């Protein structure tokens, strides 16, 4: 299957800009626009080179003050007139930041508006002086979307998200987030896609292309090795160059090379001793020179030490400091000669080459009327299709509609739609599970009323960490009398238990009860409900309305079915009910492993870092797991897991037949590829989609290899019972390659490769196909010693997981 359906980006852009330059859209910005018109006949493709030239010409007309003012954001705008934004037109309330524009007798470049975030556009839903509302769609969280393994679906969501960005007058979205889910306790895992870089990269590329098909920008973030939240503003991440290349950079590389996002956001943390936003090897040598990134790089908000060393960020290739506001310090550095006009001009040109494509620059008249109804339907479909059915003994699910359900858990009352912090969304309304269930089932009203009252009386308010972020509420599940459960078992056909967990920016989760582990009340409820309902010959189903994975080992054996819904967005209640009832057959598969115990996670011993100065907060985090992140670890070291990476059940079954190597052109070297195929048949009785995965086991010559690595995947169309589809997987040499840190090269080592085309990373009992590589292929040479560890530190000093 084509990794992405949306490839209209450039063509649409061409038409739009051609019109703009022909003066058919209101407003001309540059006094020399007429010259552009002459130089650029309407048929000219407005590609990267075109915008780079345009940016160069404009930069040549800017004074040094205008340049410094563009690269330094205007400061944090709290909406009280507290910052001056140069040449701001049509402000949008609630955006996170701006790029200053230019207004002179030579140029008229409006300010550019940047808004969060990964689960949908975060802007304020009301604006002073307007009676209109500006609600955005709260989409399923990143982890749920990635569980679809469906790049087409993700691109569709991106396209709809992009329409909201554009029609509400925003230029760039600060998303997608795509850090690797190294450890299940990272508080921001919900914004991210996967523990695997290939899946993260392909899903991110689809999202970028979907959003940008609207001629608005994306900002992939947080670049890079920002895989925990504790002390995020100054923690130093120590990681080997090989793990950097193969795990932490790889997804970003795929997204950049396949979809050229308009922007990249550098991260808060230090990487091997230096803030990422001050690393030239990262932001210029790797990102621009090796990967050919053509967009702009911005800092994360207040990241690093912009007051002291803004100039270092700019020289490294961090083109824009956000939210900014440190002009005096920057001017002082300029006056001292720390940074020259030539340096700054490079940053300005990177910024302008993207700004010139933006709706604000092109005077796009936002209509403030995105198609929220259509997006509601898509949010519901995307959430339901992506959910992961972990367990379904005795075909407990689907539960026939109109059965009588006993629904337990406060999360049916306050169903969690998304995470907190900059990734939250101001949507109009969220469908709670209790409401969704009512539309398809006969629900035990007295039980639901008990939870409704309990929630109303016991909910705890958590204010947003900045004023523009609203409060959220939590409520721990109460103890429920056994007598209540027993009578529910008599009066209903099945039990549904919903477990909820919220998480968010700035705080990591903990391996404690009420967080990663279930509370005593939750465990008792599961046990007592299972006893009572099973005694009555009835089923028990658990729904996990969780920001990220939780422990299942303590209780999974007690229940019949487990649905991992993650945080499904604003249509949560409908989407979960659609899966419970079988209206939608879930096709999701785990984008991260669920271990048996948290202690099994290879990074458990180093997360969230070590406190070096005794102030109670970690200052350094050692990536002791090296390249063995997630299933790479569990499969290599034969560690049993609760649910393997890539795993997910369906209401139907699929057979894989005729796995074969269609062609092998790897003898052509770096340009070669291997192509595999398989026939997938729906062997059950209802329609469904299947995500097939290709895992490779590579020979070890100089380099150790994980037992399995995901190298390709593809999702079938919806197959009717009995139908089949041939899936083809092309794996280029580049994707097969491993990183040789001694030689700074990506290489494919010679030998026999085994490939499993499999429904999950549990390939036991399946026969691999094989192909050969006759001699080492050097796929590419990389920047010598890029991202080296600090002087005197060797991977052996901190890597504890190695073969
Ligand atoms: C977050 C970013 C976000 C930015 C703007 C930062 O604190 O880390 O992900 O885009 O704020 O809200």
Query: 268 CA to middle of ligand 1, Å?
Result: 10
State residue 638's pLDDT score.
97
pLDDT in tens, 429-476: 999 999 999 999 999 999 999 999 999 999 999 987 666 677 899 999
Ligand 1, residues 76, 117, 219, 468: which to mutate, most atoms within 8 A of Cβ? 117
Atom of ligand 1 nearest to the CA of 97: 5
pLDDT value of residue 471: 86
Average pLDDT over every residue of 551-560: 98
Question: What pLDDT digit, counting tens, does each position of 95-114 carry?
Answer: 999 999 999 999 999 999 99
* Cis-peptide, bond into residue 398, ω within 30° of zero: yes
User: How far are the Cα atoms of 140, 537, 667, 706, 779 from residue 773, in angstroms, in the given order?
Assistant: 42, 57, 7, 18, 13
In sequence order, what are the residues at sequence separation of 6 or more whose Cβ sits closer than 8 angstroms to the Cβ of residue 673? 663, 665, 666, 730, 731, 732, 733
| Tokens (6 digits) for 396 | 């407990």
In which region does residue 233 sit, left (phi positive, over 0), alpha (psi from -120 to 50) or beta (all else)? alpha
Mutational test site, ligand 1, from 121, 325, 422, max ligand atoms within 8 Å of CB: 422
Torsion of Cα atoms, 274 then 277 then 278 then 283, to 10°: 110
pLDDT, residue 463, reads: 86
Pairing of strands 97-99, 404-408: unpaired
The strand pair at 102-103 and 108-109 is best described as antiparallel
H helices of 93-248, in order, are 142-146, 151-167, 197-212, 241-243
* 216 phi/psi in degrees, rounded to 5: -125, 165
- Asked if residue 9 has pLDDT above 50, the reply is no
Structure tokens that stand for 415 in this block: 């169903």
Q: Is 616 helix (H, G, I), strand (E, B) or coil?
A: coil
Is the CB of residue 589 below 6 angstroms from any atom belonging to ligand 1?
A: no
584 in contact with ligand 1, CB cutoff 6 A? no
Q: What is the pLDDT of residue 42?
A: 58
Mean pLDDT of 684-690: 98
The answer to whether 220 and 201 have CB atoms below 8 angstroms apart is: no
Contacts of residue 674, defined as CB under 8 A and 6 or more positions apart, other chains included, come to 661, 663, 664, 665, 666, 730, 731, 736, 753, 755, 771
Distance separating alpha carbons of residues 628 and 196, to the nearest angstrom: 11
Contact, 61 vs 354, CB < 8 A?
A: no
Distance between first and last Cα of the chain: 36
- Whether 579 lines ligand 1, by a CB cut-off of 6 Å, is no
Q: Which residue has the tokens 């808004």?
A: 115
Q: Which of 92, 116, 222 to mutate to test the pocket of ligand 1 (most atoms within 8 A of CB)?
A: 116
Radius of gyration of the chain (CA): 26
Distance from residue 192's CA to the centre of ligand 1 (Å): 14
pLDDT tens readout for residues 13-62: 333 333 333 333 333 344 444 444 445 555 678 899 999 999 999 999 99
174: Cβ below 6 Å to ligand 1? yes
pLDDT above 70 covers a percentage of the chain that reads 94
Ligand 1, closest atom to CA 175? Answer: 10
Choice among 21-35, 115-129, 218-232, 321-335 with the minimum mean pLDDT: 21-35
Distance of CA 305 from the midpoint of ligand 1 (Å): 16
Question: Is the beta carbon of 116 within 6 A of some atom in ligand 1?
Answer: yes
Tokens of 598: 């948290």
CA of residue 299 to ligand 1 center, whole Å = 9
291 lines ligand 1 (CB under 6 A): no
CB within 8 Å of 130: residues ≥ 6 apart:
none
Q: Give dist(CA 590, CA 572) in Å, integer.
A: 19
DSSP 760: S
Write the residue with the smallest CA distance to atom 9 of ligand 1. 422
What angle, 0 to 180 degrees and rounded to 10, lies between the N-to-C axes of helices 433-440 and 445-458?
Answer: 170
Q: Does the beta carbon of 96 sit less than 6 angstroms from any atom of ligand 1? A: yes
Q: Of ligand 1's atoms, which has the minimum distance to the CA of residue 191?
A: 9
Annotated catalytic, 300?
yes
Distance 109 CA to ligand 1 centre (A): 25
Q: Which residues contact 100 (CB under 8 A, 6 or more apart)?
A: 69, 70, 72, 73, 74, 85, 86, 87, 111, 324
Q: Is 250 in the pocket of ligand 1 (CB under 6 A)?
A: no
**Cis omega before residue 117 (within 30°)?**
yes
Cα 273 to ligand 1 centroid, rounded to whole Å:
22
Q: Contact at 8 Å (CB) between 298 and 319?
A: yes
Average pLDDT for 391-410: 97
Report the candidate in 389, 432, 385, 419 with the shortest Cα–Cα distance to residue 146: 385
- Looking from the CA of residue 222, the nearest atom of ligand 1 is 9
712-726, pLDDT tens digit by residue? Answer: 999 999 999 999 999
Choose among 460, 440, 446, 459: nearest CA to 408: 446
What span, in angstroms and rounded, lies between the C-alpha atoms of 387 and 588?
A: 5
Both tokens of 312, joined, read 């270092």
What local confidence, expressed as pLDDT, does residue 798 receive?
Answer: 97
**Which residue from 641, 649, 736 is spatially nearest to 691, judged by alpha carbons?**
649
Among 119, 324, 505, 507, which residue has the most ligand 1 atoms within 8 Å of its CB, making it the best to mutate? 505
- Report whether residue 221 contacts ligand 1, using a CB cutoff of 6 Å: yes
Nearest to 497 by CA among 444, 536, 430: 444
Residue 191 has pLDDT above 90, yes or no: yes
Work out whether strand 494-501 and strand 777-781 pair parallel, antiparallel, or are unpaired. unpaired
Please give the DSSP secondary-structure letter assigned to residue 676. E
Point out the least confidently predicted range of 19-33, 73-87, 177-191, 771-785. 19-33
Report which protein residue has its CA nearest ligand 1's atom 11.
Answer: 301
Instruction: Report the pLDDT value the prediction gives residue 1, as an integer from 0 to 100.
Output: 35
- Is 422 touching ligand 1 by the criterion CB < 6 Å? yes
Which is nearest to 387 in space by CA: 433, 424, 447?
433
Give me the pLDDT at residue 473, please. 93
Q: Between residues 304 and 39, which one has the greater pLDDT?
A: 304
Helix (H/G/I), strand (E/B), else coil: 738: strand
Ligand 1 pocket test, candidate residues 173, 220, 277, 301, most atoms within 8 A of CB: 301
- For ligand 1, what atom is nearest to the CA of residue 174? 10
- Interval 242-282: pLDDT, tens: 999 999 999 999 999 999 999 999 999 999 999 999 999 99
Residue among 96, 303, 423 whose CB has most ligand 1 atoms within 8 A, to mutate: 96
Q: How far apart are CA 125 and CA 411, in angstroms?
A: 25
The rounded distance, in Å, linking the Cα atoms of 442 and 221 is 44
Q: Contact, 107 vs 31, CB < 8 A?
A: yes
The pair phi, psi for residue 573, each rounded to 5°, is -60, -40
Q: How far is the CA of 231 from the centre of ligand 1 (A)?
A: 15
Ligand 1 centroid to 255 CA: how many Å? 20
Is there an atom of ligand 1 within 6 Å of 300 CB?
Answer: yes
Does residue 137 contact residue 160 with C-beta atoms inside 8 Å?
Answer: yes
Mean pLDDT of 753-764: 98
| Alpha-carbon dihedral 516, 520, 523, 526, rounded to 10 degrees | -130
Query: Is the preceding peptide bond at 222 cis, omega within 30 degrees of 0?
Result: yes
Helices (H), 22-146: 33-39, 48-59, 64-71, 142-146
Q: Which of 209, 300, 551, 578 is catalytic?
A: 300
- Closest C-alpha to ligand 1, atom 7: 301
CA of 119 to the centre of ligand 1 (A): 13
Q: Is the CB of 322 under 6 A from ligand 1?
A: no
Q: How many CB atoms lie within 10 A of CB 685?
A: 12
Atom number, ligand 1, closest to the C-alpha of residue 423: 9
Residues 6+ apart with CB under 8 A from 76: 82, 83, 97, 301, 323, 325
User: In terms of Cα–Cα distance, which of 516, 196, 541, 493 is closest to 390?
Assistant: 541
**Could you tell me the distance, in angstroms and rounded to a whole number, from the CA of residue 470 to the centre of ligand 1?**
15
Nearest CA to ligand 1 atom 3: 422
Residue nearest atom 4 of ligand 1, based on CA coordinates: 301
Give the pLDDT band of residue 153 (cuts 50, 70, 90).
very high
pLDDT at 516: 98
Q: Is 223 in the pocket of ligand 1 (CB under 6 A)?
A: no
Q: What is the pLDDT averaged over residues 660-675?
A: 98
Q: Whose CA is nearest to atom 5 of ligand 1?
A: 96
Question: What is the token pair recorded at 435?
Answer: 């409401």
**625 in ligand 1 pocket by Cβ < 6 Å?**
no
Mean pLDDT of the chain, nearest integer: 94
Question: Which of 227, 194, 204, 252 has the alpha carbon at shortest distance from 589?
Answer: 194
Percent of the chain with pLDDT over 90: 92
Cα gap 570→752, rounded to integer Å: 48
Contact between 724 and 672 under an 8 Å Cβ cutoff? The reply is: no
């Amino acid at each position: 299957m084509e990794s992405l359906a949306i490839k209209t980006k450039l063509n649409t852009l061409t038409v739009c800009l051609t019109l703009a330059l022909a003066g058919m859209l209101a407003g001309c910005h540059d006094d020399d626009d007429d010259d552009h018109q002459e130089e650029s006949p309407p048929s000219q493709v407005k590609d990267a080179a075109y915008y780079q030239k345009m940016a160069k010409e404009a930069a040549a007309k800017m004074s040094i003050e205008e340049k410094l003012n563009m690269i330094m954001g205007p400061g944090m705008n709290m909406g009280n007139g507290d910052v001056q934004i140069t040449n701001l037109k049509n402000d949008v309330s609630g955006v996170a930041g701006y790029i200053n524009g230019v207004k002179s007798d030579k140029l008229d470049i409006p300010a550019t508006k940047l808004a969060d975030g990964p689960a949908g556009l975060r802007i304020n839903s009301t604006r002073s002086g307007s009676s209109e509302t500006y609600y955005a769609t709260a989409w399923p969280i990143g982890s749920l979307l990635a569980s679809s393994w469906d790049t087409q679906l993700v691109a569709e969501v991106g396209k709809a998200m992009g329409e909201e960005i554009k029609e509400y007058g925003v230029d760039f979205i600060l998303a997608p987030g795509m850090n690797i889910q190294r450890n299940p306790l990272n508080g921001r895992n919900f914004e991210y896609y996967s523990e695997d870089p290939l899946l993260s990269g392909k899903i991110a590329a689809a999202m970028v292309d979907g959003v940008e098909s609207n001629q608005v920008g994306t900002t992939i973030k947080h670049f890079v090795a920002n895989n925990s939240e504790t002390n995020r503003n100054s923690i130093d991440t120590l990681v080997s160059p090989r793990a950097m290349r193969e795990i932490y950079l790889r997804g970003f590389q795929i997204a950049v090379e396949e979809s050229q996002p308009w922007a990249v956001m550098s991260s808060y943390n230090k990487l091997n001793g230096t803030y990422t936003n001050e690393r030239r090897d990262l932001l210029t040598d790797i990102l621009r020179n090796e990967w050919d990134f053509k967009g702009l790089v911005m800092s994360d908000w207040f990241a690093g030490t912009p007051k002291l060393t803004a100039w270092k960020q700019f020289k490294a290739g961090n083109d824009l400091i956000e939210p900014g506001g440190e002009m005096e310090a920057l001017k002082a550095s300029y006056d001292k000669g720390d940074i020259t006009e030539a340096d700054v001009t490079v940053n300005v040109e990177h910024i302008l080459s993207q700004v010139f494509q933006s709706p604000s620059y092109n005077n796009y008249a936002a209509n403030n009327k995105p198609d929220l109804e259509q997006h509601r339907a898509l949010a519901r479909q995307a959430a339901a299709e992506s959910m992961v059915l972990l367990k379904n003994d005795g075909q407990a699910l689907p539960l026939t509609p109109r059965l009588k359900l006993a629904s337990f858990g406060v999360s049916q009352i306050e169903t969690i739609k998304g995470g907190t912090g900059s990734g939250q969304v101001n949507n109009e309304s969220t469908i709670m599970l209790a409401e969704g269930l009512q539309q398809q089932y006969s629900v035990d009203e007295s039980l639901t009323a008990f939870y409704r009252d309990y929630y109303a009386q016991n909910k705890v308010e958590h204010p947003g960490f900045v004023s523009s972020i609203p409060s959220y509420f939590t409520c721990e599940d109460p103890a429920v009398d056994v007598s209540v459960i027993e009578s529910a078992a008599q009066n209903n056909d099945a039990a549904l238990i919903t477990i909820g967990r919220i998480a968010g920016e700035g705080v990591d989760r903990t391996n404690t009860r009420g967080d990663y582990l279930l509370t005593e009340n939750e465990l008792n409820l599961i046990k007592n409900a299972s006893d009572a309902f099973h005694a009555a010959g009835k089923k028990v189903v658990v729904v996990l309305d969780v920001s990220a994975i939780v422990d299942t080992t303590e209780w999974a054996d007690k229940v019949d079915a487990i649905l991992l819904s993650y945080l499904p967005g604003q249509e949560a209640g409908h989407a979960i009910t659609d899966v419970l009832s079988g209206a939608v057959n879930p096709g999701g598969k785990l984008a991260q492993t669920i271990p048996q115990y948290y202690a099994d996670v290879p990074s458990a011993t180093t997360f969230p870092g070590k406190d070096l100065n005794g102030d109670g907060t970690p200052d350094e985090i050692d990536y002791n797991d090296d390249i063995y992140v997630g299933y790479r670890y569990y499969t290599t070291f034969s560690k049993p897991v609760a649910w393997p990476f890539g795993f997910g059940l369906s209401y139907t079954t699929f057979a894989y037949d005729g796995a074969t190597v269609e062609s092998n052109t790897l003898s052509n070297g770096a340009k070669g590829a291997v192509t595999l195929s398989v026939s997938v048949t729906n062997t059950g009785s209802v329609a469904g989609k299947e995500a097939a995965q290709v895992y490779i086991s590579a020979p070890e010559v100089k380099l150790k290899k994980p037992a399995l690595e995901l190298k390709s995947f593809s999702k079938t169309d919806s197959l009717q019972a009995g139908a089949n589809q041939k899936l083809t997987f092309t794996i280029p040499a580049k994707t097969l390659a491993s990183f040789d840190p001694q030689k700074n090269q990506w290489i494919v080592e010679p030998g026999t490769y085994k490939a499993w085309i499999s429904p999950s990373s549990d390939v036991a009992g399946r026969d691999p196909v094989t192909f050969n590589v006759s001699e080492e292929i050097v796929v590419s040479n990389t920047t010598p010693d890029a991202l080296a560890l600090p002087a005197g530190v060797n991977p052996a000093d901190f890597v504890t997981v190695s073969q």
